[in-house]
Amino acid sequence: MSRNVWRHLGVFLLLVLPLAAWSQGLPLLNVTGGGAKGTQYSLTLQLLALMTTLTVLPSLLLMMTSFVRIIIVMSLLRQALGTGQTPPNTVLVGLSLFLTLFIMQPVLTDVYQNALAPYLQNGLDFDKALAAAEAPIRKFMMAQTRGDDIALFMQIARKGEPLSPETVPFTTLVPAFITSELKSAFTIGFLIYIPFVVIDLIVASVLMSMGMMMLSPMMISMPFKLMLFVLVDGWGLIMGSLAASFVTT
């Protein structure tokens, strides 16, 4: 009963709010072009664009930041330790998000100072603000993307070889960046796996030589893995290596 009431109330609000805005004379869609100031958008359309951007914000976070490499390395580290669901997914995602914000801070600061702040305070055109925000993000992705991946997607798109990094289309740079991030993440994961695999092999060999074939090697090797990881300050090494792996110059 209560669920139907909330459903009808939601439908009522969706119908009434646009009518109320129209009755007050608020423009539902107002785009003016031409003149020296360029294209101007109404406040309602700007809010609509902002709400649309918020819906795709998780995808933008995954595609154009350091989040992909970090979360994959964290997941591979957990599998290499053999601790199951410890740390839980919530902890890994939260840690990856904060480390992503730490790594992307110079880029985000550049976007705010050169694009968002002038747009909100000085009335900078939306098109110019968008271009100013794209520049630092493009520079960051180009620094992390391999040339072979860019050439691959340029060949798939049949656009020829780019003359300069600035001429690479954004729609081509994003998939090339993601591909490079996946390669880097799995390379780091492979290097992380090596010492833990060595411990598993040693423990399995000792158990086989003692005739304990029914005893799981993972049960014996996991404490040694945790001890090794803690003694070498594993979390500090992983965080520092991930942060240092991103070229920002």
Which of the four pLDDT bands, split at 50, 70 and 90, describes residue 87? confident
Give the tokens for residue 12.
Answer: 């009522």
Interhelix angle 147-156/170-209, rounded to 10 degrees, is 120
Q: Single out the residue of 149, 178, 183, 188 nearest to residue 61, CA to CA.
A: 178
Confidence of residue 186 (pLDDT cuts 50, 70, 90): very high
pLDDT reported for residue 14: 44
Q: How far is CA 144 from CA 91, 102, 200, 219, 241, in A?
A: 26, 16, 34, 39, 15
Considering only residues 156 and 124, tell me which one the structure prediction assigns the higher pLDDT.
Answer: 156
Residue 192 tokens read as 């992380």
pLDDT given at position 19: 42
Is the predicted pLDDT of residue 140 greater than 80, yes or no?
yes
Q: Enumerate the β-bridge partners of residue 31.
A: 41
Kindly list the distances between the CA atom of residue 30 and the CA atoms of 41, 43, 46, in Å, as whole numbers in the listed order.
6, 9, 10
Higher pLDDT, 101 or 210: 101
What is the rounded CA–CA span in Å between residue 144 and residue 141?
Answer: 5
Amino acid letter at 248?
T
Assessment of whether the complete model's pTM goes beyond 0.85: no
Q: What is the pLDDT of residues 103-135, one digit of tens each?
A: 888 888 888 888 777 777 877 777 777 778 788
Q: What is the pLDDT of residues 205-238, one digit of tens each?
A: 887 777 776 767 677 778 888 888 888 888 888 8
Q: What H or E segment, with its residue span, contains residue 145?
A: none
Average pLDDT over every residue of 24-53: 56
Sign of CA dihedral 100, 63, 42, 44: negative
Contact 97, 10 (CB under 8 A): no
Q: Record the tokens describing residue 42, joined without a space.
A: 């109404």
Tokens of 3: 């669920």
- Dump pLDDT digits (tens) for 171-180: 888 888 889 9
Window from 85-89, 103-107, 166-170 with minimum mean pLDDT: 166-170
Domain boundaries defined on the chain: 1-55, 56-244
* Helix, strand, coil fractions of the chain, as percent rounded to 5: 75, 0, 25
The mean pLDDT of the chain is: 76
Q: What percent of the chain has pLDDT over 90?
A: 2
